[in-house]
Chains A and B, each alone.
Chain A
Amino acid sequence: MGRVFIDLLRFNRQFASGVVLLSAITLFALLSFFSPYPPNDSYVVPPDMPPSWSHLMGTTSRGQDLFWLLTFALRNTLIFGIVVAAISRLLALVIGLVAGYSGGLVDRALMSINDTFIVIPLFPILVLFYFVMKDHMSWGLLALMMACLGWAYDARLIRSVALSLRTREFTETGIFSGMSMRRILVEEHLPYVLPIVFSTTMNNINWSIGLEVTLSVLGFTDINTPTVGVLIYWANQHTALVAGIWWWIFFPVLLVILTFIGLFLLAVSMNEHIDPRSRLGRSEG
């Protein structure tokens, strides 16, 4: 798997760009540990100042340095996305692998349920969730909720990989030559399953961050923890655009878009790599 990464990094421009973007974003988020201002304090610096050398991204109407605030916001948003992706990986893997390897009735039953979760529109349900939780809404709870609702699409992808692995010749060869099931799974199948898990994780992080930003901007989450969405929420509350404080909107939006594109590039390049026909296609330039 490591070799695959290195190959992709060297020869696949999309993958390399994705890695660069994401590293930059992660680095930025890590800067939060060096912030001179605690994230929830307000009026520590003069408000509404445009970007300058002392305040690289300007300051907000609440007297916060946008640069350092954004490091926290990005960090929290990223952590949220990763947590949701991690929990939903568990669900997606379990359901996808069980369905793919079992086949038959188990597969059909699981897929019926799976397709249900794909069809149901999640946004109204999450809004409903917020509505009944109101101030008791916590990030952990939201992450759990989203993970429990957002595994379906990826489970289906993992299932199709498992399905094709189960019926491929080298699996039967392995079984007939006496390899234990565990060895087959780890040595033969894992190299195929890992890339799809990787790309679905990237997509899932994108999805969950996207949903978090959307919910937060509408004020449907805990608006006292700085995340990218919450930042934009407060900017809107203070009518930043109309008041001409464009940097309050610009920088969060810019950074979060870079995050989305970075994750997307990683997912797409990994997907292309998995499909051997498209891999060969790229060799013609």
Chain B
Amino acid sequence: MTARGMTAPALEVSGLRAYYRTSAFGIRREVRAVDDVDLRVEAGEIYGLAGESSCGKTTLIKTIANAIQPPLEVLAGSVVFNFKDHRVDMHRVGRDELRDIRWKRLSYIMQGSMNVLNPVRRVRHAFVDFAFRHIGKSKAEFLDIVGAHLHRLHLAPDVLEAYPHQLSGGMRQRVTIALATVCRPEFIIADEPTTALDVVVQKGVLAMIHSVQRELGSSVIFVTHDMAVHANLTDRLGIMYGGRLVEEGRTADVFRRPRHPYTAHLIASLPRLGDTAPKEGLTGAPPNLADPPSGCRFHPRCPLASDLCRREVPPMTEVAPGHRTACFHSDRVAPP
């Protein structure tokens, strides 16, 4: 639709640093959940964000969406959205303007379909609360629009009259997707929308997201630890480890030739038809972000680790067109 590279990217994250800072019983702790992250999401593409639990993906997403509550603090960097007619610096914009873009231009599909809808109100109220002010018509017309939207997404309109606990987990997630797309936003953040769903339901939800994105032309950040989902859905892929972005490129490129030992491991752990070799787990444990390892945060578990890795933080360098990685030994990473 839009020639990539010609227009400004839909989202620009520069030098983002966000830590959790707590102080209890005289002990101060600083959890470095997001450390010097740079990334761009081009207009109309699906950007995947991968990494194991507690690598900082969810914190990154929250920071991008400006859903920041103490003890989380943004210490440096910026998050800029380039919407169709204006530019929004998420952390410097006023509260009213933020409210304006919420849901109309930027919407969010949250992790865990269990609990995102108000348990004591019918689903209809969620649509009214979130979307009515943007659509601007009368209540009756609004409900018609919502009904048509649900219908297009193959959801029965009587779902509006239900209470959240009366819907199944998969149903709730699909309702949430419908809710997140009813205002036709330009940018959608999807945080683990298919975790905690069984594979069959997952397939349906993914298909829904894909078709909605294609219809609206929205840009999407899709966060999940499930590499198979990334392989099927995303255009570009970013890998996070220990609060840092360690690799980024077109999904096909990353899968065919990963350039970071951690990515290589993630991809190698995917089961493949005909592959009978035993899978090896990584030694060690994910880094403690309150006291992370020096230099490259992956070095304690990396088979290619050297002295340099222990001393210095590897910068994100471009190793192939559109493919970046943060590893001193990226050329030695074996292809899968």
Residues of A within 8 A of B24 (CB): 11, 279-280, 282-283
Query: Is B2 in contact with chain A by the CB < 8 A criterion?
Result: no
**Distance of B53 from chain A, by nearest CB (Å):** 15
Query: Is B26 in contact with chain A by the CB < 8 A criterion?
Result: yes
Query: Is A188 in contact with chain B by the CB < 8 A criterion?
Result: no
Interface residues of A (CB under 8 A from B): 7, 10-11, 279-280, 282-284
Residues of A within 8 A of B7 (CB): none
**Distance of B37 from chain A, by nearest CB (Å):** 25
**Distance of A106 from chain B, by nearest CB (Å):** 27
Residues of B within 8 A of A279 (CB): 24
A7, A10, A284: the one contacting B71 at CB < 8 Å is A284
- Docked CA distance A284–B73 (Å): 12
Given contacts A7-B25, A284-B70, 11 further A-B contacts (CB under 8 A): A10-B25, A10-B26, A11-B24, A279-B24, A280-B22, A282-B24, A283-B22, A283-B23, A283-B24, A283-B71, A284-B71
- Docked CA distance A280–B23 (Å): 8
Closest to B22 in A: A283
Residues of A within 8 A of B23 (CB): 283
**Distance of A198 from chain B, by nearest CB (Å):** 18
Closest to B27 in A: A283
| Contact-residue size bin, chain B (C-beta under 8 Å from the other chain) | under 10
A11 touches B22 (CB 8 A): no
Closest to B71 in A: A284
B26 touches A11 (CB 8 A): yes
Residues of A within 8 A of B71 (CB): 280, 283-284
Restricting to B14-34, which residues have a CB under 8 Å from any CB of A? 22-26
Q: List 17 A-B contacts (CB under 8 A).
A: A7-B25, A10-B25, A10-B26, A11-B24, A11-B25, A11-B26, A279-B24, A280-B22, A280-B24, A280-B71, A282-B24, A283-B22, A283-B23, A283-B24, A283-B71, A284-B70, A284-B71
Residues of B within 8 A of A283 (CB): 22-24, 71
**Distance of A277 from chain B, by nearest CB (Å):** 12
Residues of B within 8 A of A282 (CB): 24
- Docked CA distance A114–B326 (Å): 62
Residues of B within 8 A of A10 (CB): 25-26
Most chain A beta-carbon contacts within 10 A, residue among B22, B23, B25, B71: B25
**Distance of B326 from chain A, by nearest CB (Å):** 32
Most chain B beta-carbon contacts within 10 A, residue among A7, A279, A283: A283
**Distance of A8 from chain B, by nearest CB (Å):** 9
**Distance of A38 from chain B, by nearest CB (Å):** 48
Closest to A282 in B: B24
**Distance of A274 from chain B, by nearest CB (Å):** 14
**Distance of A51 from chain B, by nearest CB (Å):** 43
Most chain B beta-carbon contacts within 10 A, residue among A10, A279, A280, A284: A284
**Distance of B69 from chain A, by nearest CB (Å):** 10
**Distance of A89 from chain B, by nearest CB (Å):** 28
Residues of B within 8 A of A284 (CB): 70-71
